């Protein structure tokens, strides 16, 4: 990408270095072959950061770097922007009635974790090995064809063909909760109905699977008292984000910015 193809970004008379925008592009996705989209997203992000730093310095804020991880501290710019937002953004606390009203919108959102009983047939392979992956896919596809003709033969087929220790139990994995298996496997479990088997092989880091959901125990809906703090925290974060966007929008409207399109901020 040649930065000369893109306009200069100037924020209230301050020229933003193209190298800053180029470094920022790694944080923004764009369709393959269209690097200009990532550049424009990066230009907008850097323009906003520049605007916030200008405002922080105009208010005479001092750098007070905080630890954000073990042995890892904010940069000076991050500390200034945080300090500015803490000073400028006032988020009114949520009332008890508002927190409870959020819960009442759909109490079923707040449950204990579900439990799944599942069985599978595995054709093991390293997904990074194209040849091994292709062979495993061919084999699992053939097994799926046999299973389609005899769904009740799942356990016997698993015992004969699966490359997982669960083959000794007819492919049964027992009870599984969130986090007990790899993410791709769990994502499929969340979509299946009781007794349903996947229609297509599922690839995980272990290889290709045919998965059957044998039983599902939905988590119990939690009472308001059990989830009040979680809801209050989420509402506070959402309010902070909303008020921060409004503050930035006010700064943009009061500024002269070239080379970035911040109208939708």
What is the per-residue pLDDT across 106-155, written as a single tens digit (0 to 9) for each?
A: 999 999 999 999 999 999 999 999 999 999 999 999 999 999 999 999 99
Whole-angstrom distance between the N-terminal and C-terminal Cα of the chain?
A: 26
pLDDT-based confidence at 230, cuts 50/70/90?
A: very high
Average the pLDDT over each of 20-34, 36-50, 76-90 and give the range with the smallest value.
20-34
Q: How far apart are CA 173 and CA 165, in angstroms?
A: 9
Element housing 224 (H / E): helix 224-253
Which pLDDT score is estimated for 262?
80
Q: pLDDT at residue 265 above 60?
A: no
* pLDDT higher than threshold 80 for residue 35: no
Paired tokens of 187: 């994502």
pLDDT score at 38: 87
The pLDDT, as a whole number, for residue 137 is: 97
Q: Is the pLDDT at 224 greater than 60, yes or no?
A: yes
**Computed from CA positions of residues 202, 203, 209, 211, in that sequence, does the dihedral angle turn out positive or negative?**
negative
Give per-residue pLDDT as tens, 56-69: 999 999 888 888 88
Averaged pLDDT, 90-112: 94
* Range name among 68-82, 170-184, 211-225, 226-240 with the lowest pLDDT average: 68-82
Q: Whole-number mean pLDDT of the chain? A: 93
Q: Average pLDDT in the 247-261 region?
A: 92
Q: Is the pLDDT at 4 greater than 80, yes or no?
A: no
Per-residue pLDDT for 253 more than 90? yes
CB atoms within 10 A of CB 96: 9
Structural domains of the chain in order of their starting residue, each with its CATH number: 3-92+229-258 (no CATH), 115-217 (3.10.50.40)
Quote the CA–CA distance of 82 and 76 in Å, as a whole number.
10
Q: Is residue 71 very low, low, confident or very high in pLDDT (cuts 50, 70, 90)?
A: confident
125, two tokens: 């392979």
In the 8-state DSSP scheme, what is residue 255? S
Confidence of residue 2 (pLDDT cuts 50, 70, 90): very low
């Amino acid at each position: 990408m040649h930065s000369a193809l893109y306009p200069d970004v100037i924020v209230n008379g301050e020229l933003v270095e193209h190298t800053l925008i180029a470094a920022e592009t790694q944080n923004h996705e764009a369709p393959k072959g269209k690097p200009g989209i990532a550049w424009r997203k990066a230009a907008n992000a850097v323009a906003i950061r520049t605007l916030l730093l200008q405002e922080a310095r105009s208010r005479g804020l001092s750098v007070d770097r905080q630890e954000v991880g073990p042995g890892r501290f904010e940069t000076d710019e991050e500390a200034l922007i945080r300090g500015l937002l803490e000073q400028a953004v006032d988020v009114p606390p949520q009332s008890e009635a508002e927190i409870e009203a959020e819960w009442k919108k759909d109490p079923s959102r707040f449950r204990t974790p579900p439990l799944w009983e599942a069985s599978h047939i595995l054709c093991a392979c390293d997904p990074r090995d194209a040849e091994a992956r292709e062979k495993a896919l061919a084999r699992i596809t053939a097994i799926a064809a046999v299973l389609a003709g005899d769904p009740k033969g799942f356990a016997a087929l698993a015992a004969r063909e699966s490359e997982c220790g669960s083959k000794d139990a007819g492919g049964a994995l027992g009870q599984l909760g969130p986090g007990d298996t790899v993410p791709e496997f769990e994502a499929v479990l969340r979509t299946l109905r009781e007794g349903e088997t996947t229609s297509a092989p599922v690839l995980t880091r272990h290889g290709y699977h045919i998965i059957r959901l044998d039983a599902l125990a939905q988590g119990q809906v939690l009472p308001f008292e059990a989830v009040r703090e979680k809801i209050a925290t989420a509402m506070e974060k959402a309010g902070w984000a909303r008020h921060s966007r409004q503050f930035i929008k006010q700064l943009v409207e009061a500024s002269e910015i070239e080379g970035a399109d911040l109208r939708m901020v």
